[in-house]
Each structure stands twice: as C-alpha cells, then as structure tokens.
Chain A
Amino acid sequence: MVLTSDPTAQCTMDAPSGTPLLRVQDLHVHFPKRHGNVPVLDGIDLTINPGEAVAVVGESGCGKSLLGLAAANLLPAAATWNGAVEFRGQDVRSMSRSQVRRMHGAGVGMVYQDATSSLNPGMTIASQLRQICRLGSSSTPEDLLSSVGLQETDRIMRSRPHQLSGGQRQRVLIALALARDPALIIADEPTTALDVTIQRQVVQLLRALQTSRRFALLFISHDLGLVSEVTSRAAVLYAGQVVETGPTNDILLEPRHPYTSGLLRASMSIEQRWDRLAPIPGQVRQPRDLPTGCRFRDRCSRASDACVTRPALQTSGSRLLACHHPLPPSDQSSWTSEANEGTRRSANG
C-alpha cells in the first residue's frame, strides 16, 4: 500500500513544505465559441508535491481530462484561461518557448487512455522509443521495456503497435512516458480500455514504478477502487468545480459531499448486488445548461433553496468541502445503512 494515513501532512491541497512540483491556482478555462462565458473549469486549486500521487475523480464531462491538459500546459487553442499554473515554481505563461519545450520533454510525461491511438501505427516500438531516448534519457529502450515488466523485449522492439496486445501497448505507452525521467506523470484513465486482469497488472505496475522512480503522479479516473489503490490524495471534480478534496482514504471511507457519496454508492451497489442499484439520477449537464449556484443541485437529493448560491470550498477536518448540506461527519448511515439494507433484501429474496 502506498497509502499514507497521516492526515496532518496532507490535510489540504496546499503544499506542506518546499516548492510544489505543480501548482494550479484559481484556474478558469473557457471555450468562448462552444460554451460562451460559462467556465468549463471553474476556480480549480491543485497542488502536487514531488513524488506524490494525486487523483482527480469524476464522471465523464466533469473536466478531468481538461485539468490534466491544463496541468501539462497543453490546453487546446480554442480555450482561454486565467489563473495560475506553475511548474517547479515557474508560471507557465512566463516561460520562453525553450522552457516550455523542456517542460513538455523532460518535465511531464503523459499516459493516455487509448494506447492504440497514441502510438504511431506505422513505426516499430524500437524506433518510437529511440526517437525519445535520443533526446536524453538515463535508460536505453531495452531497459525501459523491461522496467515496465515486458519480457521478450527483442520481439516487442521489432513489433508495430498492432502486433501487440492491449496490455502490452499500454505498457509501451508507460515506457514512453518514463523515457525522459519526468518529475510528473499525468495518467488519464490509463486502464479504462483494458479488461480487469490486465487493468490490475497495469495499476500495480504504476504503483511499483512510482515507488522506485519517485515521480509524482496525477491519476485521472472515474474508478474509485483504482483511485484508492494508487493515490494518497484525491480531488473530486463535478462540472469543472472541485467539490471535495483531501486524503483519498478519508474521502472514500467517509464521503461528505453528496456527489462523492453518490459515486461511491453507485459502485458499491453494483459490486454488492443490491436489489435496486443506486445510480446518481440524470447526467452531467452541458456547460450552458448548468444550474446557477451549486452545479450539482439538480441531481442532488439534499438540495434546498440555499443551493442557488455557490458553496465555498471550506476546510472540514482533514478535507476541503464545497456543499451547503454535506453529509454529517462520521455518520456512514446515509449509504452504508442502505448497503446493509440492500444485502438483507437480497438475502431474503
């Protein structure tokens, strides 16, 4: 377990000490042409310290991937943004071209969801790896492949992506991200395209590499089970806003925001085969249709008139929470009691 359970060390998204590797402050991202003046990311704060593993959790359309791109200074040209993104203490806006290139080259590595579309189908794995290693790497292509747990490196080096299995491709992708010894790896749903057995292997690999190579990890996922295995801190994103953030363990064991609790209940209900599964009603709205105030209120069972004003992100114990009607602390009743009930019902039926 890489999980550390020292709540004081990581109680907020602020860095405990030293310069954080990545700091995102009050980030707003707009797509003026597509979504008008509605911010698609709305006031995001996120800090990642060297060697730390942080998760960003939420449904599709919540802005998780966009946050990953913003962190890597790779936002699409159609986006306008304000706020601050600092890498190693330096504002990315003030970076010169060569500094940006250095950040993209040796600073940040990306692992995307779909390995098939991120590898060049016409090049052998060897040439793709060499292309990157030539730019400066502490390891050879062969070493990289064996470090991601691939055997038969000779055969794999000679292969093109279509000749490899999905798990092998994902490992190659991780090897490519590791090639320049980056300080930060952004993994955007790295296992979604894989089946469960391979998923498990890839997650274990990421964990092992993270311990041995000491890079920081920004892990983007909607799978709470995976998140709890890989990261120590998590930020739950809904419709471009952070709704709850703090130590992963605390958040998963005792979700306080109705959205976090809804995500957990959905997973748990499927896993434990409740008579009635517990989805979150509806879906994430298009940015233009988002309600004012709390963006979750149209799907929330606890919403009241107070929710027309946007709740501020406030400290509550070990976490930060943005909700007018959070679930009470250390009261699991709201969803675990239902879990009990669910099991009882299925036992009876």
Chain B
Amino acid sequence: MTVLEETNRSSPVSATSAAILDVRSVSVSYPGKHGQTWALKNVTLCVRPAEAVGLIGESGSGKTTLARCMLGLIRPTSGQVAHRGRNIYAIRNTARFRMLSRDASTVFQDPRSSLNPRLSVAAVVRDPLTVLHIGTRRERDAKVIDALQSVGLPASIAGRPVRALSGGQLQRVALARALAVDPSLIIADEPTSALDVSVQAQVLNVIRDIRAQRQLAVLVVSHDMRVVRCLTNRTIVMYRGEIVEQGHTEQVYEDPQHPYTKSLLAAAPRLASVMASTVPANEAASGTIAPTFAGQA
C-alpha cells in the first residue's frame, strides 16, 4: 500500500478515475533510417472495470506496442498513460512495475516460450505472489490451488513440470498465473493463436467464465476477429499505429465503416460462408443446408 500512497502524491493527473487504464493521445516513435518511425500515433482509449475490450489489426499495426505501453513497459514519446488516475510514467520503474503487476496481468501468445519449462506448475503460478510479497506461504499455496481450479485444472496438476503439459493446459496455467494476484484487468496478447481450434474453444470458454465470476476487465489483443468477437463487447481496430475504428463489437462486426476493417473481416476464414458457397446448386435450392448457414453468417 505504501507504493500506492507514494504514487498518489507524485503524480496528480486528472483522469477518468473510473477507468483502470486510461491512455491519452499516446504516440510512440523510434528513430529509423528515414527519420522517425511512428509505432503509435495519437492513440486514446480507456478500459473501465469489468469491461471487455478487443484490439484488432494485422501484424505491425501497433497492437502489441499499445499493450506494452499500458503495462508500463514502453515509455510513450508523447501523451500519458494513467492507471486509476495516476500517470504511470511519472513513477520510477520499480514502483511502477509493482503497482501495475498487482492490478493488471498479462497472458501471452505462446505459453511454451513465456513459461519456464523446468519449473512446476505450482511454482509458475506462485511466482508473481512471491515477487510481490502477497500473503503468507500458506495463503500463497491456497491462492495457487484456487487459481488453478478457476481455470478448470485439477489441483493434482500443481506438482507437474511445465514441460509435460499440452498447449491448451499451458495456456490455462498462464491464465491461472495471471489470476493469482487478483488483478482487475487481464491483458491477453493473442491468447489462443498458438492453439488448435478444438482447444481454442476450451480456453475461450474459460476466459468467459472467469470474466463472469470475477467481474474482471480484459483487453484482448488479436488479429483474429472471431476471437475478439467471442470475448469482447467493445472493439478497437488499429491500422499503422492509429485507431481507425471503434465501437460496439457486434456493430463493428456487422457494419464495419472503415475500409480496413472491411478487408480484415473479409479475410477471416469463415467456415459458414465457405460451406454455404460450396453447396451444390440443387441442394441449396432444396433448402437443406445452405439457409441454415447463410442465415446465421
């Protein structure tokens, strides 16, 4: 708590206090061969408690840079990022990381490269608690089991080494680790891109359940519109470092305004439309299959 008090004094930024994270006209640039390269240009967004926000765009559109800015990992060239009303970049590094990692956790794309394969599952999930000095030893152990159970893993898995688990199980362990500190926000960067469809659905179900149970806010970063649509209420479309469209997820999905959003939607492989379009003419006419899919697509 001392950390929070300290930050309170050091950075009086008037921001929407309701927001967990508030990004105000943030730009990030890197020096390049031909002058500055802008990774983010004048981006403004906020994530409120219990809200599910999706961030979509192709590789290189600045999604991950924005997420890293929000986690206090990249100092913006201009603009401000506020966490519960406090400008996070006005705080020195250690304090900032401590403050943010208690309240905002991260789940990365590939659990195999983000979790230490030699540790046990329990050690991986307990790690953030130990680092942040949360609870006593016994309380930590209880939290670990609790986190594992809330992502649908049996407590018996706690002693197994990380390398022995499958991709879907690992991604749940990553989720459990993110949940262990009781954050109010989880930032998930391509949480299911490394998984098969069958397992993807398992993990998406888990994320939905956790959100419902814990009143958790999530920021889902993905290039896959289907995943974003599944998990979020509000969608932000990024292109070349700028926000080109945002709105209610269904609205963006059903009635995209920006040409880039349209092309992104058209590119997503849609089984339903593929199947509808490959139905032989006579079958489509007899109405056995095609209308079912076409109606829903």
User: Residues of A contacting B205 with CB < 8 Å?
Assistant: 276-277, 279
A270 engages B197 (CB within 8 Å): yes
Instruction: Give a binary string over B261-281; 1 marks a CB under 8 Å from any A CB, 0 the rest.
Output: 001101111111011011110
Q: Tell me if A279 and B198 are in contact (CB < 8 A).
A: yes
For A308, list chain B residues within 8 Å (CB).
Answer: none
Tell me the bound Cα distance from A30 to B272 in angstroms.
38
A206 contacts the other chain (Cβ, under 8 Å)? no
Against B, the Cβ 8 Å flags (1 = close, 0 = not) of A20-43 are 000000000000000000000000
For A45, list chain B residues within 8 Å (CB): none
Interface string of A255-279 (1 = CB under 8 A from B): 0000000111011111111001111
CA distance A252 to B278 in the complex (A): 10
Given contact pairs A197-B263, A277-B205, A283 touches B169 in the complex (Cβ within 8 A): yes
Q: Does A77 contact B (CB under 8 A)?
A: no
Q: 19 more A-B contacts (CB under 8 A) besides A60-B196, A197-B58, A253-B275?
A: A1-B278, A59-B196, A61-B166, A195-B58, A195-B223, A200-B266, A222-B196, A224-B271, A228-B271, A228-B275, A229-B274, A253-B278, A271-B270, A272-B297, A277-B208, A279-B201, A279-B205, A281-B202, A283-B167
A5 at the interface (CB under 8 A from B): yes
Name the segment of A9-17, A104-112, A313-321, A336-344 touching the other chain.
Answer: A336-344
Contact partners of A273 in chain B: CB under 8 A: 229-230
Interface residues of B in 43-63 (CB under 8 A from A): 58-60
Contact of B223 among A196, A278, A281, A340 (CB under 8 A): A196
Docked complex Cα distance between A224 and B196 (Å): 11
Q: Which of A228-268 contact B (CB under 8 A)?
A: 228-229, 249, 252-253, 262-264, 266-268
Query: Which of under 10, 10 to 19, 20 to 34, or 35 or more describes the interface residues of B?
Result: 35 or more
Asked whether A149 is an interface residue with its Cβ less than 8 Å from the other chain, the reply is no
* A51 on interface, CB distance cutoff 8 Å: no
Contact B198 A271 (CB under 8 A): no
Instruction: Collect the chain B residues with CB atoms within 8 Å of residue A225's CB.
Output: 269-271, 274
The answer to the question of B114 belonging to the interface, with a C-beta cut-off of 8 Å to chain A, is no
> Is A270 in contact with B226, judged by CB distance below 8 angstroms?
yes
What residues of chain A lie closer than 8 Å to B288, measured between beta carbons? 330, 332
* Bound CA–CA A263/B199 (angstroms): 10
A342 → B minimal CB distance (Å) = 9
**A199 interface contact, C-beta 8 A:** yes
Cβ-defined contact, A283 with B166, below 8 A: yes
Residues of B within 8 A of A165 (CB): 59-60
Contacts of A306 in B (CB 8 A): none
A132 at interface by CB-CB < 8 Å: no
CB atoms of B167 and A269 under 8 A apart: no
B209 CB, min distance to chain A CBs, angstroms = 10
User: What residues on A are CB-neighbors of B227 within 8 Å?
Assistant: 270
Point out the residues of chain B lying under 8 angstroms from A332, CB to CB: 288-289, 292
Closest to A203 in B: B269
Is A340 touching B199 in the complex (CB atoms < 8 A)?
Answer: no
CB distance from A275 to the nearest CB of B (A): 9
* Contact, CB under 8 Å: A3 / B278: yes
Residue of A1, A228, A281 most packed against chain B (CB within 10 A)? A228
Asked if B58 contacts A283 (CB within 8 A), the reply is no
Whether A271 contacts B226 by the Cβ 8 Å rule is: yes
Take A166-B59, A197-B264 as given contacts and tell me if A223 and B269 are in contact as well, using a CB distance cutoff of 8 Å.
yes
Note all chain A residues with C-beta closer than 8 A to B225: 196
Nearest-Cβ distance from residue B54 to partner chain A, whole angstroms: 13
Within 8 A of A (CB), among B214-241: 223-227, 229-230
Q: Which residues of A contact B59 (CB under 8 A)?
A: 165-166, 195, 198
Summed over the interface, the residue pairs from A and B with CB atoms below 8 Å come to a total of 122
Interchain CB contact under 8 A, B264 and A266: no
Shortest Cβ gap from B110 to chain A (Å): 11
Query: CA of A32 to CA of B228 in the docked complex: distance in angstroms?
Result: 43
Does A226 lie at the interface of the complex (its beta carbon under 8 Å from any beta carbon of B)? yes
Nearest residue in B to A264 (C-beta to C-beta)?
B271
A195 and B63 CA atoms in complex are apart in Å by 13
Given known A-B contacts A267-B271, A271-B226, A277-B205, A196 and B58 have beta carbons under 8 A apart:
yes
In the complex with contacts A267-B197, A273-B229, A279-B205, A228-B58 CB distance below 8 A: no
- List chain B residues, Cβ under 8 A from A276: 205
Contacting B267 at CB < 8 Å: which of A5, A197, A330? A197
Q: Does A280 contact B (CB under 8 A)?
A: yes
Quote the shortest CB–CB distance from B198 to chain A (angstroms): 4
Measured between beta carbons, the chain A residues less than 8 angstroms from B201 are 266, 269-270, 277-279
Q: Which residues of A contact B269 (CB under 8 A)?
A: 196, 199-200, 223, 225-226, 229
- Residues in A with CB closer than 8 Å to B280 are 5
Q: A11–B271 Cα gap in the complex (Å)? A: 23
- Rounded to whole Å, the gap between the CB of B122 and the closest CB of chain A is 21
